[in-house]
A and B are shown apart, each in its own frame.
Chain A
Amino acid sequence: MEKNLALVLLLAPLCGFLFNVFLGKKAGKGIVGIVGTLSILVSFVASMYFFSLIQSTGKPFQVDLFKWITLEKFNVNFSFLLDQLSVLWLMFVTGIGTLIHMYSISYMHDDENMHKFFAYLNLFVFFMITLVMGGNLLILFIGWEGVGLCSYLLIGFWYKNQDYNDAAKKAFIMNRVGDLGLLIGLFILGYLFNTLDYATLKTAILSNSDILSNPLVGIAALCLFIGATGKSAQIPLYTWLPDAMAGPTPVSALIHAATMVTAGIFMVTRMHFVFDLAPYVQDVIAVIGAATAILAASIGLVQNDIKKVLAYSTVSQLGLMFLALGFGAYEVAVFHVITHAFFKACLFLGSGSVIHGLHGEQDMRNMGGLRKAMPITFWTMMISTLAISGIFPLSGFWSKDEILMTAFHGNIVLWVVGSIASIMTAFYMFRLMYLTFFGEFRGTEEQKHHLHESPSLITIPLIILAILAAIGGLISLPGNSWLNHYLAPLLSKGEHAAHHLGTTEYVLMAVATVGALLGIGLAYSKYIKNGEVPPQDSEIKGIAKTLYNKYYVDEAYETLFVNPIYRLSHFFRNYFEVFFSEVVFAFGKIANAIAIQGKSIQNGNIGLYLFAFVLGVSSILIYLFLV
C-alpha cells in the first residue's frame, strides 16, 4: 500500500505531463490547467500522508523497484527513499508547486502555448520529486539533470525572443559545468565505496576510520560542492540565475527561487557525512557562501528590473544557506530553505501580479503608487518583504538569525559579511517596495487607466504564501526547535544541539534587527523622503555603474572563457577540419576520376561485353592450366 502510494506520489506529475503534452492542445486551456494542478495536488496529499507516517513511526520508508546496474562489486538499485529530509522537501516542493500551478492558470491564460507550459511545469515537478526521493546518488542525478532540462525549456519558453533563448542556453551550459563536478564526485564515491546508496554509504563511511586519511574523500566532497554551485547559483557559476528571469514569472517563482535552486543544499545535506569528513571543503563552502551573499546583495542594490532584484536576492539568500552548510549547521540551512521558499515564492508571484497588472512592464522606474490599485498584492508582498528583511517575528527573522548565530560562533569575519548582506537585503527589498507601491505612478496614462488587482486565482496563492511566510518561523524557534528535533535521526551529530539562549544570542538578535531597520530606514529616506527615482541607464555613474553592470562578471567570463573557446573552435575549424575534409574529399575525387575513365567501357555494346567476357575466361583458363 505504501509502496503504491509512493509510486503515485512520483508518477502523478508525470501523468499530468503526458496528458498535457499529447492531449493538451485538444483538451483546451481550462482542462490543461486543472489537470496540471490536480496532478501536483495528488503528490502533495501523498507527501502529507508520508509525513504523518514518518511523524508517527519515525522510520524511513524505502521502495526498491528493481536492480538497475549490476557489476561485479558495484550494484545500484532503482530505489526511492522517503525519510525525514526527503518528505520535508517533497512537502514544500509539491505544496508550493500546487499553488504556483494554480497561479499559472490565470497568469498564462492568454498564452497560445499554455498546454506546453503546464506540461513542462509538471515534468519539472516529476524530476524534482525524483531528485528528492531517490534512494541513491544516481537517481538523484537523473532528477538533477531532468530539472536542468525543464529549467532550460521554461526559461526559453517564449522562444521567439532570441535573448530568452540565449538565457536558456546560458543556464543549461553553466549547469553542465557544475554537473560535471557532481558526476566526478559520484565516480569517486563509487570507486571508494562500491556503492552510491545513501544508507550504505553512510554506514561505510562511519564504520571505516581509515577513510579520514584518504585525500580522495575531500576531492569527492569538493566535486559534489561544485555540482551544488552550478545548480544553486553560487560563485563562480551564479550568473545564469539572474538571466533565467527571462522565463515566465511562475517559473521564476517555482524553479529559480523556491525549489530547483535549493537542490544543491538538499544534496549537501544528504551527503553531510561526506562533507563532515572534509573540514577544508566546509571552509570553502562557508567562504563561497558568504562571498556570494554579499556580492549578489550588492548587485541587487541598484538593479531596476523588479525580477532582477529578486533574482539577485535569491542568489544572496542561497549564499547565506551555504554559509550555514559550511559550518555543518545543516538543519539551519534547511530551515532557511523552507522559509525562503515561502517568502521568495510569494515575492516572485507578487511581482508577477504587478507585471500582469502593468501588461508586461518590469522596470521599476515606470511603476510606483500601485498600493491603492493592488492592495492584496501589496500587503502580501509587504509581509514577505518584512520576512526576508528579518523583522521580528516573521519567518525570515528566525532562519536568518540562526544562520548568523552559527556564523558568529564559527567565524566572526563571515558573520560580519553575512550581516552586511542582510542589511543590504533589507535595503534593496524596501527599495523595491517603495519604488513599486509608493509615490506616484510613473508609467503611461494608458497603463494607469488599466490598473487593476489581479484575479483571485492569482491572489489566493499569494495570500496563502504570505501567511506561511509570516508564521513559517514557528517550525524552528530557537531553544525549542521542532525542525532540529525532526531532522535529528538523520543528522545525528549532536554537536549542533540547539543554541541555548544566552545573552550573546539576544544581543545578536538585537543587532540583526537593528541592521534590518537601518537598511529599511536608508531606503525610506532615499526613496520616500527624498522621492528619488533611479536614474536612466546612461546616467548611472561611479560605483553604482559597476554594480549595475554586475561587476562586469559576465564580460569577464566572456573574455576569459567564452572567447578563447570560440577562438579555439575557429582554429580547429579553419585548420584541422579543413585538413581532414580535404583528405576525405581527396578519396572522393580519386574515385570520381577513375569512374570518369571507366565510364567509356560500359558503352552498352553487347559485342564488346562478350569479347571482354571471353577474354577474361580465357585468361583465367590460361592462368589455371598453362602457367
Chain B
Amino acid sequence: MQNILQQIGIENYIYLSVILFCIGIFGVLYRRNAIIMFMSIEIMLNAVNLLFVAFSTFHQDAQGQVFVFFSMAVAAAEVAVGLAILVSIFRNLSSIDIDNLKNLKG
C-alpha cells in the first residue's frame, strides 16, 4: 500500500480533500436549490472520508478505513432521511428553493 503514496504524495490527497471540502461549502452557501445543497454536503462528507483513508494508509493503521465504512453507512441513512424531508417540502411548497422556507422567522 505504501507504494501508492510513493507514486502520488500524501500532500496531493490533502489538497484534493481541501478543494472538495471548499467546493462543498461554497455549494451550500451559494446555491439555493435544496438538492444541490444536499449534494454539496455529501461532497464535504466524502472529502473528509478521503482524508481519513489517506491518513490511514500513511500511518499503516486500518482504524481510519474502518471509520470510513461506518461514516458511509451513516451517510446512506442520512441521505434517505434528507431526501424524504425534501420530498415532503416539495409536496407542501411545490418548490425546493430554500428561500421559500421562512416559516421559522421570529
Q: Is the CB of B29 within 8 A of A605?
A: no
Does B101 belong to the interface (CB within 8 Å)? yes
Query: Is chain A's interface secondary structure helix, strand, loop, or mixed overall?
Result: helix
Cross-chain contact A607 with B32 (CB below 8 angstroms): yes
| Count of A-B contacts judged by CB separation below 8 Å | 26
Stretch at the interface among A267-275, A285-293, A596-604: A596-604
- Whether B25 sits at the interface, judged by CB under 8 Å, is yes
| Pairwise interchain contact A604-B102, C-beta atoms closer than 8 A | yes
Give the number of chain A interface residues (Cβ < 8 Å).
Answer: 10
Tell me whether chain B's interface is mostly helix, strand or loop, or mixed. loop
Q: In the assembled complex, which residues on chain B have CB atoms less than 8 Å from the CB atom of A599? A: 106
Interface residues of B in 47-106 (CB under 8 A from A): 98-99, 101-106
Residues of B within 8 A of A606 (CB): 98-99, 101
Residues of A with C-beta under 8 A to B105: 602-604
The answer to the question of B28 belonging to the interface, with a C-beta cut-off of 8 Å to chain A, is yes
List residues of chain B with CB within 8 A of the CB of A614: 25, 28-29
Most chain B CB within 10 A, of A603, A607, A610, A611, is at A607
Q: Which residues of A contact B104 (CB under 8 A)?
A: 604
- Across the interface, do B106 and A610 meet the contact criterion of CB distance under 8 Å? no
Measured in the bound complex, the distance between the Cα atoms of B105 and A599 in whole Å is 10
Contacts of B32 in A (CB 8 A): 607
- Tell me how far the C-beta of B21 lies from the nearest C-beta in chain A, rounded to whole angstroms: 11
Bound CA span A438–B25, Å? 109
- Chain A residue at smallest Cβ distance from B106: A602
Are the C-beta atoms of B29 and A610 separated by less than 8 Å?
A: yes
B16 CB, nearest partner CB in chain A, Å: 19
How close is B38's CB to chain A, nearest CB, in angstroms? 12
Selected contact of B29 from candidates A602, A603, A604, A611, CB within 8 Å: A611
The residue in chain A whose Cβ has the minimal distance to the Cβ of B25 is: A614
C-alpha gap A599/B106 in the complex (Å): 7
Name the CB-closest residue of B to A604: B105
Nearest CB in chain A: distance from B17 CB, A: 15
A residues lining the B interface (CB < 8 Å): 599, 602-607, 610-611, 614
Selected A-B contacts with CB under 8 Å, 23 pairs: A599-B106, A602-B105, A602-B106, A603-B102, A603-B105, A604-B101, A604-B103, A604-B104, A604-B105, A605-B99, A606-B98, A606-B99, A606-B101, A607-B29, A607-B32, A607-B98, A607-B99, A610-B28, A610-B29, A611-B29, A614-B25, A614-B28, A614-B29
Beyond A602-B105, A605-B102, 18 additional pairs, beta carbon < 8 A: A599-B106, A603-B102, A603-B105, A604-B103, A604-B104, A604-B106, A605-B99, A606-B99, A606-B101, A607-B29, A607-B32, A607-B98, A607-B99, A610-B28, A610-B29, A611-B29, A614-B28, A614-B29
